């Protein structure tokens, strides 16, 4: 499969830029340049980068919880993982947890029967699920925690690749969620101790 940064085209097909834009939307990422190679390592990020890289090789373990402060590079690493999985023929969009919840709430109001349950199941049963920014802006609500517990429990039992990032203290996550990510055979927990990553992105 072609590299996502160098798509090939033939006559009458979309231009390279159009293909790149289509791929970016398909993976739901901000930039195709947010690769592991372009991650500007800062003090405290080495263990986190290593975990994401290892997961991209599809090891025996399949669940990763990444904790860290706002701006510490968690989203870049999620997007880097999505790009690496795409190279292996796996579509794994990066999903903002809050945006996913908004879609669920809209489905509650749908006139279609089972719209809510169907949307929940479509996300819960994805082959690879990368959920970014759980609890953004504060501790997760009871509804957020219930959705998260349901997703993580299902995916843990069915052995589906799952990533969750959060900028909360680990004690603020549901105990059942932490327990499943704490299974050393199936899962990893990393604390990204880097400071604000964004200024480094422009560094030469």
Q: Is residue 203 part of a domain?
A: no
Mean pLDDT on 13-38: 94
Read off the pLDDT of residues 133-149 as tens digits, 9 standing for 90 and up. Answer: 998 766 678 999 999 99
Quote the domain boundaries for residue 69.
58-193
Q: What is the CATH number of the domain that holds 119?
A: 3.40.50.300
> Does residue 76 carry a pLDDT above 90?
yes
Query: Residue 156 class from Cβ within 10 Å (0-12 exposed, 13-18 middle, 19+ buried)?
Result: buried
Strand locations in 23-166 (E)? 63-68, 94-96, 128-134, 161-166
Cα–Cα distance measured from residue 74 to residue 48, given in angstroms and rounded to the nearest whole number: 9
pTM here is: 0.86
pLDDT at 9: 47
- How many folded domains does the chain comprise? 1
What pLDDT does residue 78 have?
98
Decide if 43 is inside a domain: no
Q: At 125, list the tokens.
A: 């049963």
Asked whether residue 121 is assigned to any structural domain, the reply reads yes
pLDDT at 43: 82
């Amino acid at each position: 499969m072609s590299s996502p940064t160098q798509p090939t085209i033939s006559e009458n097909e979309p231009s390279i830029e159009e293909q790149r834009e289509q791929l970016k939307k398909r993976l739901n990422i901000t930039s195709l340049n947010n690769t592991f190679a372009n991650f500007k390592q800062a003090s405290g990020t080495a263990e986190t980068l290593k975990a994401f890289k290892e997961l991209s090789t599809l090891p025996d373990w399949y669940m990763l919880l990444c904790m860290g402060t706002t701006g510490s590079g968690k989203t870049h690493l999620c997007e880097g993982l999505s790009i690496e999985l795409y190279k292996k023929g796996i579509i794994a969009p990066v999903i903002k947890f809050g945006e996913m919840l908004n879609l669920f709430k809209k489905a509650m109001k749908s006139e279609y029967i089972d719209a809510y349950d169907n949307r929940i199941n479509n996300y819960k049963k994805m082959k690879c699920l990368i959920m970014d920014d759980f609890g953004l802006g504060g501790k997760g609500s009871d509804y957020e925690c219930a959705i998260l517990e349901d997703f993580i429990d299902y995916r843990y039992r069915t052995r589906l690749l799952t990533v969750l990032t959060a900028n909360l203290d680990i004690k603020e996550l549901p105990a059942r969620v932490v327990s499943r990510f704490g299974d050393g055979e199936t899962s990893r927990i990393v604390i990204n101790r880097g400071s604000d990553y964004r200024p480094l992105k422009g560094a030469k």
